[in-house]
């Protein structure tokens, strides 16, 4: 059922279903997935048949004491200072040991595991608990540093999977992983209480070393306002977005919120107050193709029990203008045309998203409602010759949204045309007009 929902969300760029099982049913090290009906290859094929990309979870360092690999090859394990296999007892119901990939036979085994994953047809591979690839005291090759041990193993996985499979590193030494993974987990399991801090602290990595991955959004039990805050941060930080909820249980309201940050924007926002407040409470995202004329600003209140008031000067975000239009994206209302200060109070665990645009003195586009980052807005322009405001928007087939336009008092629009057909003009408030689009 989740795969069917992913199929319906594919036009919004949500296209991958990851198969994860880190329970005691798996014999870590053997990686045969015995509990999967008809095998992992047929599972991957069935997911592809539904129009989704199949993904899989593997912990490459782990070897269960009950696995065939450990029974036959205890000499393949990392050793402690006394020369005994490194042991982590009762880990996910297992007594766990850890592969020593400086042993050529163990490295060949690692390669065979990921060749199998490749041949099964998985297009997304999450490799977890990577720090355990190099946490022993003794290795067969005693001349390598731990960083060299780690990179040798990770490079083998990367080369075996090839360049076309998305590789996500997790529980990984980050600097030692640069250049070998496509995505990197940057925080704890689920977004949790500290997820927003990790996203801010590691924002400099996003789009430079890899795609940042703060792990799964799980919001089915959260208030709608808190869920919207998490979604807003995901949209502004522009990393990988993983959905940890049972999609069959998400309400239409929450699915609608989720769609407004997909597909993920190509540009990434940054925390404006990273060194000023802990945690960071303000994010700024430039709008593609708009230069300094438009910014999306996310205001948050991640802590405490009282409202947090943000004190803004909108012209700081669009310094080339003499006044700024401040549009509340989620509440769909123009807050003000402003050239002074603006105070915005945010209740605990909530957010506000403001689209701030420099006033041009002529009719102009303020926002589109179908994407928080405004990435779906293309080439808006005003012609003083024929008094026409033009532009393009992009959307998923069948989606309904609206374009928001501002007209100064001396201008009064008389018609709208969308896809070469007459469209409605809806006056939402003084100076603000909506043009509905399907």
pLDDT tens string 168-188: 999 999 999 999 999 999 988
The pLDDT of residue 315 is: 92
The pLDDT of residue 154 is: 98
Could you tell me the pLDDT band of residue 386, with boundaries at 50, 70 and 90? Answer: very high
Average pLDDT value for residue range 182-198: 84
pLDDT higher than threshold 90 for residue 219: no
What values do phi and psi take at 337, rounded to 5? -105, 115
The pLDDT of residue 63 is: 95
| Residue positions counted in the chain | 438
Please measure the distance between the N-terminal and C-terminal CA atoms of the chain and give it in whole angstroms: 27
What values do phi and psi take at 370, rounded to 5? -95, 0
Average pLDDT value for residue range 23-28: 71
The residues facing 346 across adjacent strands are 308
Q: Which two tokens stand for residue 420?
A: 């070469």
Average pLDDT value for residue range 320-338: 91
The pLDDT of residue 376 is: 93
Range from 28-42, 120-134, 282-296, 332-346 that averages highest in pLDDT: 120-134
Closest residue by Cα to residue 260 from 303, 283, 304, 227: 227
The pLDDT of residue 24 is: 55
What values do phi and psi take at 264, rounded to 5? -60, 135
Location of structure tokens 């179908």: 370
Torsion sign over Cα 184, 190, 196, 198:
negative
Span 282-315, pLDDT tens digits: 999 999 888 889 999 999 999 878 999 999 999 9
The pLDDT mean for the chain works out to 91
Average pLDDT value for residue range 44-71: 93
pLDDT higher than threshold 80 for residue 234: yes
Greater model confidence, 433 or 247: 433
Q: Which two tokens stand for residue 379?
A: 């080439």
The pLDDT of residue 296 is: 97
Could you tell me the pLDDT band of residue 86, with boundaries at 50, 70 and 90? Answer: very high
The pLDDT of residue 401 is: 95
Closest residue by Cα to residue 235 from 272, 207, 263: 263
The pLDDT of residue 22 is: 62
pLDDT higher than threshold 60 for residue 262: yes
Average pLDDT value for residue range 250-266: 89
Count the Cβ atoms, other than its own, within 10 Å of residue 153.
25
What gap in Å lies between CA 365 and CA 356, rounded to an integer?
Answer: 11
pTM attached to this predicted model: 0.91
Could you tell me the pLDDT band of residue 192, with boundaries at 50, 70 and 90? Answer: low
The arrangement of strands across the sheet holding 282-286 comes to 270-271, 282-286, 294-301, 350-358, 324-328, 333-338
DSSP 41-56: HHHHHHHHHTT-EEEE
CB 86 within 8 A of CB 70: no
């Amino acid at each position: 059922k989740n795969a069917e929902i992913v199929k319906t969300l594919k036009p919004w760029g949500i296209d991958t279903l990851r198969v994860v099982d880190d329970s005691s049913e798996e014999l870590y090290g053997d990686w045969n997935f015995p509990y999967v009906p008809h095998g992992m290859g047929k599972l991957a094929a069935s997911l592809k048949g539904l129009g989704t990309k199949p993904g899989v979870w593997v912990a490459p360092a782990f070897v269960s004491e009950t696995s065939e690999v450990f029974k036959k090859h205890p000499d393949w394990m990392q050793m402690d200072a006394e020369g005994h296999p490194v042991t982590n007892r009762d880990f996910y119901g297992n007594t766990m040991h850890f592969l020593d990939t400086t042993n050529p036979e163990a490295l060949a085994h690692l390669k065979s595991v990921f060749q199998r994953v490749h041949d099964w047809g998985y297009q997304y591979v999450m490799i977890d608990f990577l720090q355990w690839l190099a946490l022993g005291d003794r290795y067969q090759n005693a001349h390598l540093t731990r960083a060299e041990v780690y990179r040798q193993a990770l490079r083998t996985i990367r080369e075996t999977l090839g360049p076309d499979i998305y590789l996500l590193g997790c529980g990984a030494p980050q600097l030692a992983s640069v250049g070998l993974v496509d995505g990197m987990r940057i925080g704890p399991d689920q977004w949790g209480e500290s997820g927003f801090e990790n996203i801010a602290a590691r924002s400099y990595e996003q789009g430079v070393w890899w795609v940042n991955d703060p792990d799964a959004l799980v919001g089915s039990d959260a208030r709608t306002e808190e869920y919207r805050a998490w979604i807003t941060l995901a949209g502004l930080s522009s990393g990988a977005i993983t959905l940890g909820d049972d999609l069959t249980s998400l309400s239409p309201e929450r699915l609608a919120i989720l769609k407004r940050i997909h597909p993920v924007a190509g540009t990434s926002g940054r925390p404006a107050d990273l060194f000023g407040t802990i945690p960071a409470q303000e994010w700024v995202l430039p709008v593609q193709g708009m230069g300094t004329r438009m910014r999306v600003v996310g205001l948050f209140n991640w802590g405490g029990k009282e409202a947090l008031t943000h004190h803004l000067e909108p012209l700081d975000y669009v310094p080339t203008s003499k006044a700024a239009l401040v549009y509340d994206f989620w509440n769909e209302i123009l807050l003000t045309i402003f050239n002074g200060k603006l105070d915005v109070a945010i209740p605990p665990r909530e957010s506000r998203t403001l689209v701030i645009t420099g006033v041009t003195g002529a009719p102009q586009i303020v926002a589109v409602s179908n994407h928080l980052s405004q990435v779906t807005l293309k080439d808006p322009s005003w012609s003083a010759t024929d008094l026409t405001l033009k532009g393009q928007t992009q959307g998923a087939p069948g989606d309904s949204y609206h374009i928001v336009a501002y007209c100064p008092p001396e201008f009064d629009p008389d018609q709208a045309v969308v896809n070469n057909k007459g469209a409605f003009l809806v006056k939402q408030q003084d100076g603000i007009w909506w043009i509905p689009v399907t």
